[in-house]
Structure 1
Amino acid sequence: MMAPIFEVCSASAGVIALLGNMPVRLYPFGQYDGEIQYPYAIWQNIGGDPPQYLDRTPDHDNYSLQVDVYAKTASEVLAVTKALRDAIEPHAYITRWGGQTRDTETKTYRYSFDVDWIVKR
């Protein structure tokens, strides 16, 4: 069970312009083990639940996702974050703008945010 974040974002011209299209550099499970090409983004489930009904099975699932964007420059990480936001918001809710950090070793930038997604079954 997963929210359709990849399907939604990979259909966005703005996201593809920044994260490519073969493949779209938006990776699940909060990690990527291949050779890193910047910019890229990762996402992972951090919570969620199905509703509980007494008279029927759930008709949707609730997902909470964390998205982390990585880039070589601050302007690039902000541009990717904006493109992802614009692709996601017609379908789900951004619930947290998180940390903005720079890795001391790689000197790359990171922007984190959370998304709550309601997915009909």
Structure 2
Amino acid sequence: MIAPVFSVCAASPAVTALLGTDPLRLYPFGLQDDAVVYPYVVWQNISGSPENYLAQRPDVDSFTLQVDAYANTVDEVLAVAAALRDAIEPHARITRWGDQTRDNDTRRYRYSFDVDWIVPR
């Protein structure tokens, strides 16, 4: 019922070099609720469904995730997005490069993208 984005990214030395290991600053449900340390990443399901069959229970689930990286500088957010891309692409498909913005209040940079992931049960 959940894509293995955390375990895949936690296994990537490039991701952990940028997002740390204790904790890995990769948060589910689109929420970062710890003390804010940049860079960090949030992700959330934006859609999904089981692969339904007439003769048996589903054997895979499909998910579309939104991934948002936040960082202090443009170079840093681009490095995080590239590390995530390289970690995720062997396992799933990136389907959208999204917004690249700067938050008016925090003055931090954001890079967003979507991932389609098929997960065997």
**TM-score band, normalised by shorter chain:** over 0.9
Partner SS state of residue 14, structure 1: helix
Gaps in structure 2 of 5+ consecutive residues: none
What is residue 118 of structure 1 aligned with on the other side? 118
What is residue 104 of structure 1 aligned with on the other side? 104
Q: Aligned letter for 1:11? A: A
**1:16 Cα deviation from its structure 2 partner:** 0.4
State the alpha-carbon separation in 2 of the partners of residues 101 and 95 from structure 1.
19
Deviations 1:50-102 (A, max 9, x none): 11200111110001000000000000000000000000000000000000000
Aligned identity (percent) is 65
Structural mapping, 1:19-34, within 5 Å:
19-34=19-34
* Structure 1 moving runs of 4+ over 2 Å: none
State the alpha-carbon separation in 1 of the partners of residues 25 and 118 from structure 2.
24
Aligned residues: 121
> What TM-score, normalized to structure 1?
0.99
What is residue 86 of structure 2 aligned with on the other side? 86
State the alpha-carbon separation in 1 of the partners of residues 91 and 105 from structure 2.
36
Q: Aligned letter for 1:99? A: D
**1:32 Cα deviation from its structure 2 partner:** 1.1
Structural mapping, 1:39-50, within 5 Å:
39-50=39-50
Q: Aligned letter for 2:18? A: L
What is residue 38 of structure 2 aligned with on the other side? 38
Query: What's the Cα RMSD here?
Result: 0.5
Q: Aligned letter for 1:43? A: W
State the alpha-carbon separation in 1 of the partners of residues 86 and 113 from structure 2.
13
